Amino acid sequence: MRRRDFLIALGAAAFMAPLAVPAQPQRQLYRVGILSSSNPASVGQLIDAFTQRLGELGDVEGKNISIERRFAEGDLDRLPALAADLMQRKVDVIFAPNTVAVQAAKQVAGSIPIVFASVDDPVGSGFVASLGRPGGNITGISAIQNELSAKRVQLLKETFPKLSRLVVLTSSSESVSNFQVAEIETAAGVLGMEVLAIEVRRREDFEPALAQMRTWRADSIYPVSSAENFYNRGLLAEFAAQARLPAIFSAEPYAYAGGLMSYSPLSKALFQDAATYVDKILKGAKPVELPVEQPTRFQLVINLKTAKALGIEIPQSILLRADEVIE
Q: Say whether both 139 and 149 belong to one domain.
A: no
Residue 284 forms part of a structural domain? yes
Rg over alpha carbons for the chain, rounded to the nearest Å, is 26
Give me the pLDDT at residue 279, please: 98
Q: Say whether both 115 and 194 belong to one domain.
A: no
CA atoms of 277 and 143, how far apart (whole Å): 15
Give me the pLDDT at residue 19, please: 46
Q: Say whether both 272 and 132 belong to one domain.
A: yes
Under DSSP, the state recorded for 225 is: P
Residue 181 contacts residue 123 (beta carbons within 8 Å)? no
DSSP per-residue codes, 246-277: -BEESSHHHHHTT-SEEEEE-HHHHHHHHHHH
Q: Is 202 exposed, middle or buried (0-12, 13-18, 19+ CB in 10 A)?
A: exposed
Q: CA separation (Å) from 34 to 47, 125, 150?
A: 9, 20, 31
Residue 24 forms part of a structural domain? no
Q: Say whether both 109 and 211 belong to one domain.
A: no
DSSP per-residue codes, 77-109: GGHHHHHHHHHHTT-SEEE--SHHHHHHHHHHH
Q: Say whether both 131 and 173 belong to one domain.
A: no
Residue 226 forms part of a structural domain? yes
Q: Say whether both 102 and 172 belong to one domain.
A: no
Q: Say whether both 237 and 306 belong to one domain.
A: yes
Q: Given the DSSP bridges, would you call strands 298-303 and 324-326 parallel, antiparallel or unpaired?
A: parallel
Residue 5 forms part of a structural domain? no
Give me the pLDDT at residue 210, please: 94
Element (H, E) at 71: strand 65-71
Give me the pLDDT at residue 120, please: 87
Select from 144, 68, 135 the least CA-distant residue to 99: 144
Q: Say whether both 227 and 203 belong to one domain.
A: yes
CATH code, domain with 101: 3.40.50.2300
* C-alpha dihedral (181, 183, 185, 188), degrees to nearest 10: -130
Residue 12 forms part of a structural domain? no
Give me the pLDDT at residue 171, please: 79
Q: CA separation (Å) from 281 to 16, 95, 285?
A: 48, 11, 4
Q: Say whether both 75 and 182 belong to one domain.
A: no
Find the length of the chain: 327
Range of the domain at 277: 30-143+267-296
Residue 191 forms part of a structural domain? yes
Q: CA separation (Å) from 275 to 52, 93, 194?
A: 9, 11, 40
Query: Cα angle at 251 between 249 and 254, to 5 degrees?
Result: 65
Q: Say whether both 303 and 183 belong to one domain.
A: yes
Q: Say whether both 272 and 233 belong to one domain.
A: no
Task: Give the number of domains in the chain.
Answer: 2
Q: Is 35 exposed, middle or buried (0-12, 13-18, 19+ CB in 10 A)?
A: buried
Give me the pLDDT at residue 176, please: 60
Q: What is the pLDDT along the chain (327 residues), one digit of tens a residue?
A: 444 454 444 444 444 444 444 444 455 799 999 999 999 999 999 999 999 999 999 999 999 999 999 999 999 999 999 999 999 999 999 999 999 999 999 999 999 999 999 998 899 889 999 999 999 999 999 988 888 999 999 999 999 999 999 999 987 655 667 788 999 999 999 999 999 999 888 889 899 999 999 999 999 999 999 888 999 999 999 999 999 999 999 999 999 999 999 999 999 999 999 999 999 999 999 999 999 999 988 999 999 999 999 999 999 999 999 999 999
Q: Say whether both 136 and 223 belong to one domain.
A: no
Residue 49 forms part of a structural domain? yes
Residue 7 forms part of a structural domain? no
- Assign 3-state DSSP to the chain and report helix, strand, coil percentages, each to 5: 45, 20, 35
Select from 252, 236, 255, 225 the least CA-distant residue to 118: 225
